[in-house]
Amino acid sequence: MSAEITEMSGVRIRRDEVQIGIGLSSMGFVLAGLGACIAILARDLDEPTSRLALLSSGFAIGLLIVALVGPRLLRTWPITTVLALGSVVCSAGIVLLALAPVYAVAVAGGLCIGLGGALLVLVAPLMLNGPTAAARLSRVNAVASGTGILAPLAIGALDSLGPTGRLAILAAVPPLLLLAVLTWRTASPSPPVREAPVPVLIDSAPAVGLGKRWFGRRTGRGLKGFVPRRLGRAVVLEVGRGWLRIVLAVAVEFCFVVWAVARLVSTGLPTATAALLGSAFPIGMAVGRTIGPIHWRAWSPVVPSGLLAIAGTLLVSLFDSPAAVALGLGVAGFGIAPLYPVTLAALVATPGLSPARLAAVGALASGVAILIAPALLAVLARVLDLRTAYLVTLPLLATLFVLSRGPRRSRHQRAATTLRSGHVA
């Protein structure tokens, strides 16, 4: 009997892993192709590339909405219902984006992709929970990163053959609809979740679905009644600092995600060729996330990674050769890759607040960054040009360095850590 139960449990675990793998891989494909789609939409709809910044804003608004209402949704509906809903909504958004005849339809597609994709990420930590969660997340994220590399290649190849290259993102629709069907067919009655995790940035694969194994033990308590009043202000300041670090890291990342292909187009390349070379950034990201954070002496991992990102940015901004820009995108992707996971992990390790609440703060920071940063770069590109506008990432990285200075901790941080070790079992 016990062997039969174990076998059934193994089947369920594999099924859940496959389902989440399908969902996150589809989202990885779409997000990695977002920059190429924006460049092609600008050509197809005869719109200025900078005006299409609203497309990434629609995606960010979807993330923010789910960050606010998603946990409550999971307390009302079963996980399987949320997973199926996210798959259908995301599929609808992809169709709208791929076939959009006008600007407003494309923006509506971005909003639906943000809403549906955030719902998919919302349920990932719950469905991959358990003693082997870390290994399962690693496998899922590896596949998602690999499919992300394929997106700009597929978009560029299709565009060079004649049809608009954005049709290539329709390849993500059948897997998502299959996921919705499989979820409904294999659904078993499950109670609503009492305390749901929040969506974390889908593109940052190693951070998707971070749970107790990554964040540390959940205290179940917030600031009130846990941190003495004399440390309350210090903890609030530390959370604010961590929130700002995530905003800066995600802002730099999505400046490249959204505008990398447009920068290659501005060098004089055809859109199809630019989309193909735009794969340099997701390839760099995938390699960087495979290797993990770069540790050098006593510096924060943010510093060596950020220096690589600066080197890549300078190649992208100071040279107008397609080869130099593509090389810069690859170097920047390699450097940027660890920034979000490192800053998110630092935030949720802040003593005095539960990791679930701190993850919610991180989700909000991600949404704010995606909403503002690509649009800011687009505004600068209108005033100057896209090549010069890319230099906006340098002060963002410099500020991130300042907020991540060294391993030394303040007296308040040391006291808070001592308090945590003494009061948390």
310 confidence band (pLDDT: 50, 70, 90): very high
Q: Which residue has the higher pLDDT, 411 or 185?
A: 185
Query: What pLDDT, on the 0 to 100 scale, is given for residue 205?
Result: 32
What percent of the chain clears pLDDT 90, i.e. is strictly above it? 35
| Rounded Cα–Cα distance for residues 128 and 15 (Å) | 10
Average pLDDT over residues 299-326: 92
Token representation of residue 33: 């192709």
User: Taking 70 as the threshold, does the pLDDT of residue 201 lie above it?
Assistant: no
Cβ atoms of residues 248 and 163 within 8 Å: no
Residues 6 or more apart in contact with residue 2 via CB below 8 angstroms: none
| Residue 91 pLDDT | 96
Distance between CA atoms of residues 344 and 363, nearest Å? 9
Tokens of 399: 């500020």
d(CA 53, CA 60): 11
Closest CA to 111 of 124, 123, 97: 97
- What are the pLDDT digits (tens) for 60-76? 887 788 777 877 787 78
Rounded CA-CA distance 391/53 in Å is 17
Tokens found for residue 280: 């340099």
- Computed over every residue of the chain, the mean pLDDT equals 78
113 or 18, which is more confident: 113
CA proximity to 142, closest of 287, 245, 244: 287
| Amino acid residing at 30 | V
Query: Hunting for tokens 């205290």 — which residue is that?
Result: 219
Per the model's pLDDT, the better-predicted residue between 410 and 22 turns out to be: 22
In whole angstroms, give the CA distance from residue 390 to residue 392: 5
Q: How many residues does the structure list for the chain?
A: 425
Alpha carbon distance, N-terminus to C-terminus of the chain: 36
In sequence order, which residues have a C-beta less than 8 Å from that of residue 18 and are 6 or more positions away?
Answer: none
d(CA 128, CA 41): 36
CA distance 282 to 53: 19
Helices 229-265 and 355-383 pack at an angle, to 10 degrees, of 40
pTM of the model: 0.77
Number of Cβ atoms within 10 Å of the Cβ of 240: 11
- Local structure of residue 106 (DSSP, 8 states): H
What is the maximum alpha-carbon separation in the chain?
Answer: 71
Q: Which residue, chain included where needed, has tokens 């010069």?
A: 388
pLDDT at 119: 85
Instruction: Over range 29-53, report the average pLDDT.
Output: 88
Could you tell me the pLDDT band of residue 306, with boundaries at 50, 70 and 90? very high
Alpha carbons within 13 angstroms on the beta-carbon side of residue 71 total 15
**pLDDT at position 54:** 77
Q: What is residue 214's predicted lDDT score, i.e. its pLDDT?
A: 33
Which pLDDT score, from 0 to 100, does residue 193 have?
Answer: 53
Query: Residue 72 is encoded by which pair of tokens?
Result: 């409550």
User: Mean pLDDT over residues 32-45, rounded?
Assistant: 90
The predicted model gives 177-182 an average pLDDT of: 90
Q: Going by C-beta distance under 8 Å and a sequence separation of 6 or more, which residues neighbour residue 6?
A: none
Q: Between 56 and 307, where is the model more confident?
A: 307
**Measured between alpha carbons, how far is 211 from 125 in angstroms, rounded to an integer?**
6
Rounded Cα distance, 196 and 66, in Å:
12
9, pLDDT greater than 60: no
Q: Is the pLDDT of residue 322 over 70?
A: yes
Q: Does residue 27 have a pLDDT over 50?
A: yes
Tens digits of residue pLDDT in 382-420:
888 889 999 999 999 999 999 887 544 444 444 334 333
Does the pLDDT at position 263 exceed 80? Answer: yes
Measured between alpha carbons, how far is 131 from 207 in angstroms, rounded to an integer? 18
- Give per-residue pLDDT as tens, 121-136: 777 767 766 666 556 6
Candidate ranges 300-304, 316-320, 419-423; pick with highest mean pLDDT: 316-320
More confident residue, 418 or 275: 275
pLDDT value for 48: 85
pLDDT of residue 396: 95
